[in-house]
Structure 1
Amino acid sequence: MMSTAVSGKLCSANGKSIPDGIADTARLIVSGIDRPRIVSNITGCLSQFGANIIESQQFSTEAHGGLFFLRIEFHVSCLRMILPELELALTYHANAYGLSWRLVPVADVKRMAIMVSREEHALNELLMRWRSGDFLADISMVISNHPHHGKAVESLGIPYHYIPVTPDTKSAAEDKQLELLSGNVDFVVLARYMQILSPRFVERFPYRIINIHHGLLPAFAGANPYRAAKERGVKLIGATAHYVTSELDAGPIIEQDVTRVDHRHGVAELRRRGSHLERSVLATAVSWHVQDRVIVHGNSTITFTN
């Protein structure tokens, strides 16, 4: 459990207060082969415990026999007390239909680490939204291969770790990063961290590393996408938030957005306009991940957005 009680109120690990009602709220994520009566059985199971469904979304890949995905957010009195019995009942119903599922108490606030290089716009957006309570998460630490952001981050009470990276020290730097992260965070956000993570790093956080790419994937992957876009004469530029896999810029896409440009805009202007997209797209993807709204399906995602 990643929340604590302070003066009768729930607080996250960094002391930020958790909204009222969260302590007895949970999310149920279900997936499997689609068949009749899955929803009625799952919701019936919840109703037996007096649960009130706050939000429910589902998706099937085919009309008959496709894959089925379900996200339910519900409130039930004394959630922690009844949790073992509820999980046992859900296991029974899930096994009957061959379903995979996970139950996430909302008060178990996810811990994230932010990794960033020199550019600060994506980092600043995440910090601003965190401070304003736009997403319920703990920022456990910020790791950077540049020292520039330390003062601003530490002024918010967030640990800042400067770990320089060179071609000769990359492996040792990752060792230090993983030592800091292991057991202390649930997911990692690359807020314009301009280093390629090794496969061993990615394997430690499967589908739990979110990257913002300054281009509209799958077009213009790799370095300098704005220059490539200018040379190609595109009329739209974009930003893409995706989960990181061992293949560069090829992981499941979470969110994208675009803005229109034309022949008058140079690379610098494309980069300036694109930075606004990067900020919002990354923050949206982090918010959805924190709320368990993203389900990885092959190399794509099901996003139950609100």
Structure 2
Amino acid sequence: MQSQIVTFLIKCPDQKGLVAKFTSFFYEEGFNIVSCQQYVNAIADRYYMRIRLDAEDANISKKDLENKFLVLANELNCTWSVHYEKEKQNVAIMVSHTSHCLYDLLERHKEGKIDCNISLIISNHNKLKPIADMFGVPYYHLPITKETKKEQEGQVKDLLTKHNVDLIVMARYMQILSEDFINTYPQKIINIHHSFLPAFQGANPYQRAYERGVKLIGATAHYATVDLDEGPIIEQDVERITHESTPKTLKGIGADIERLVLARAVKSHLQHQIIVSDNRAIVFPESGE
């Protein structure tokens, strides 16, 4: 195997000796352990591990590594995935007509703060094409109506397949994805919700937050599921406000929070820091990436 960092994400029933069994396996295959993060949910009796390995001295192919680990995983009743650092992920961004999240992601990508290929941008409006052109990213305008929803989503799927997309980012894409579409990409669609879920779901959250006189506003990034705005939460943040805030100022503050929350969520996914368990996202902190 070429010199690179390999990341395993593992979840299984908790039991004694798990750390020793996993680390011994990788040591015996010639890997150097760069970092090992773990979490035990005592309530659910579940164990979670994120282990990063240096493959420089490992004389084993990817296929053999995965086949050998599968034997151990089956013994321990594990669910797992493996990720190779040199295989850069392809990302598609879906937008409507709001630009702040799109621009922020493109800028971070340009500066090397998000390690991926942003392969394409898909929108049901043509308004944000100049931003895509500025960054040299292909932009596909696919209008949608209630009558053409199925056809439009089929076109989107074709583009995602053509570009070998690994992650879809809904950067304020203001359409509800169909159940069929979401089920095609499980845990591969990240959405930014412009409120601190579960509060103020749906439209006009800042107007409703103003009317309620809230003292905190925030944003939530989560994996999209068929239950609207109820997928596993990856990242959230809030900011304190006062009675002097208007719906307009709340919207501006909220946009800033949305940028940060979405960028953190995308980065966590790309760095393989997330294990989804039931409807919860276990998000390990950065470990020297």
What is the correspondence of 1:160-179 to structure 2 with a 5 Å cutoff?
Answer: 160-179=139-158
State whether residues 24 and 80 of structure 1, in contact with CA within 8 Å, keep that contact through their aligned partners in structure 2: no
What is the correspondence of 1:20-39 to structure 2 with a 5 Å cutoff?
Answer: 23-39=3-19
Moved more, 257-266 or 130-139: 130-139
What is aligned with 1:9? none
CA gap 1:84/1:271 in 2 versus in 1, 3 angstroms: same
State whether residues 143 and 163 of structure 1, in contact with CA within 8 Å, keep that contact through their aligned partners in structure 2: yes
CA gap 1:76/1:43 in 2 versus in 1, 3 angstroms: same
State whether residues 144 and 164 of structure 1, in contact with CA within 8 Å, keep that contact through their aligned partners in structure 2: yes
What is aligned with 1:88? 67
Moved more, 273-282 or 73-82: 73-82
Q: For 1:45, which of 6, 10, 25 is the aligned residue?
A: 25
Please state if 1:266 is matched with 2:257. Answer: no
Residues 25-44 of structure 1, C-alpha deviations (whole Å, 9 max, x = no match)? 11011111011111111111
Distance 1:115 1:39 in 2: 40
Q: For 2:184, which of 194, 204, 207 is the aligned residue?
A: 204
Using the TM superposition, give the Cα deviation of residue 89 of structure 1 relative to its aligned residue in structure 2, in angstroms: 2.6
Structure 2 residues without counterparts, runs of 5 or longer:
none
Please state if 1:56 is matched with 2:36. Answer: yes
Alignment coverage as a number of residue pairs: 284
What is aligned with 2:94? 115
Distance 2:72 2:158 in 1: 40
Q: Structure 1: which 4+ aligned runs deviate by more than 4 Å?
A: 78-81
Distance 2:204 2:124 in 1: 19
Secondary structure of the residue aligned to 2:135 is coil
Distance 1:191 1:94 in 2: 36
Secondary structure of the residue aligned to 1:212 is strand
What is the correspondence of 1:133-172 to structure 2 with a 5 Å cutoff?
Answer: 133-172=112-151
CA gap 1:173/1:85 in 2 versus in 1, 3 angstroms: closer
TM-score, reference length from structure 1: 0.89
Distance 2:59 2:185 in 1: 27
Distance 2:267 2:136 in 1: 21
State whether residues 238 and 257 of structure 1, in contact with CA within 8 Å, keep that contact through their aligned partners in structure 2: yes
Using the TM superposition, give the Cα deviation of residue 85 of structure 1 relative to its aligned residue in structure 2, in angstroms: 2.8
Residues 204-244 of structure 1, C-alpha deviations (whole Å, 9 max, x = no match)? 11111000000000111111111111111100000000010
Using the TM superposition, give the Cα deviation of residue 291 of structure 1 relative to its aligned residue in structure 2, in angstroms: 0.9
Q: Which amino acid aligns with 1:129?
A: R
Q: Which amino acid aligns with 1:194?
A: M
State whether residues 11 and 46 of structure 2, in contact with CA within 8 Å, keep that contact through their aligned partners in structure 1: yes
Distance 1:244 1:148 in 2: 24
CA gap 1:80/1:226 in 2 versus in 1, 3 angstroms: farther
CA gap 1:214/1:23 in 2 versus in 1, 3 angstroms: farther
Please state if 1:252 is matched with 2:246. Answer: no
TM-score, reference length from structure 2: 0.94
